[in-house]
A and B are shown apart, each in its own frame.
Chain A
Amino acid sequence: MRLKIIGSGGCVSIPRRYASVMFALRQGKKAFLMQGAAAVCMLRMPRY
């Protein structure tokens, strides 16, 4: 059985993106808490 979590965030869209940011952080990016719009903006920046 092979399952994959693809939406670990909570009940509004920003936390879902935030969760994705956390995934990016896991890949070796600098780990710190980004919140709300900042997390969304970070995702849209090319370096991420």
Chain B
Amino acid sequence: MYVEDAKILIDTPEDIAYALNHADIKAVDYILYSHIDPDHTMGMRVIEQLRLDWLANSIGSICRNPIIVASLPSIIKDLRCQGTKYGSALDYYESLNLVSSQAITSLELTSMHIDLIPVDSSANVTIFVFTQDSNKVIYAPCDVKPFPENDIFRDADCLIIGNTIVGDVLKDGFILENDNPLREELFVIDEIIELKSKYHIKKVIITHLEEDWGKSYDDYKELQKQFNEIEFAYDGLEINY
């Protein structure tokens, strides 16, 4: 996810450099992390591609516009565990002034306000709430079940949510039985409809789409005709309010 208003990137999966180029994104000023699962963090080296200038560094010139890396305090702490035998990658980037890390629960920018809502008391997973003027967008990318109770979600214009099983018949005809443990971890569409109704959310976009759901782009396009204001994400989808 990229927020154009403030050049905010949320999470760095392994192929984030490819995704940034594919989306023709020119600048990143902030990186916010939702949680530390590898598929959301293992592309952290994109920080080097965004800011590191080895030649300038070799003559003592330091980076003058560090990326703000921000997240909930417990997640920043865990992020420091990502690294190699040489130590923490985040610490290394800070030592070169490529980044400045901040443990936050909200972020006030000139263009918008962002609240970071912990999914549970461990505060290891984040739901982002973007507010600008009278518009509100919720981004809940991963591991957000059970969805927390919080009035801040009420009357949002859009909820972008991951981890939803799409359909009962999945890849290669796999039938998801009622007792399948995935149902504990992931939402099904009916639960998304309930969530949308509970918080009076105008529109839902389902993302983090797994190949295991066994559906093509055309399948998703056809499927979303069945629902009221529930759509499926694709790379390049723009959300404007």
Which A residues fall within an 8 A CB radius of B? 1-20, 22-23, 25-26, 31-33, 35-36
Contacts and interface: CB of A to CB of B under 8 A. Distances in A.
Interface of B: 1-5, 11, 13-16, 18-20, 22-23, 25, 37, 39, 112, 130, 132, 135, 137, 139, 142, 160, 205, 207-212, 214-219, 232-241
Contacts, number: 135
Contact of B2 (A4, A33, A36): A4
Contact of B217 (A1, A3, A14, A25): A25
Given A2-B240, A7-B1, 18 more contacts: A1-B241, A2-B3, A3-B4, A3-B139, A4-B237, A5-B237, A6-B2, A6-B236, A8-B208, A8-B209, A10-B39, A20-B18, A22-B217, A23-B235, A25-B216, A26-B236, A31-B216, A33-B216
29 contacts: A1-B112, A1-B240, A2-B4, A2-B5, A3-B4, A4-B2, A4-B236, A5-B1, A5-B205, A5-B235, A5-B237, A5-B239, A6-B2, A6-B19, A6-B235, A7-B13, A7-B235, A8-B234, A9-B211, A11-B142, A12-B39, A16-B14, A19-B234, A20-B18, A22-B235, A26-B236, A31-B216, A33-B216, A35-B211
Given A1-B137, A5-B234, A36 B211 contact: yes
A18 B23 CA distance: 15
A13 B13 contact: yes
B84 to A, nearest CB: 19
A7 B238 contact: no
B216 A6 contact: no
A45 B107 CA distance: 42
B22 A1 contact: no
Q: Which applies to chain B's interface (DSSP): helix, strand, loop or mixed? A: mixed
A6 B1 contact: yes
B102 to A, nearest CB: 21
Most chain A beta-carbon neighbours within 10 Å: one of B14, B217, B218: B217
Nearest to B219: A33
B239 A4 contact: yes
B155 to A, nearest CB: 15
A35 B211 CA distance: 8
A19 B207 CA distance: 10
Contact of B234 (A3, A11, A15, A26): A26
Nearest to A12: B39
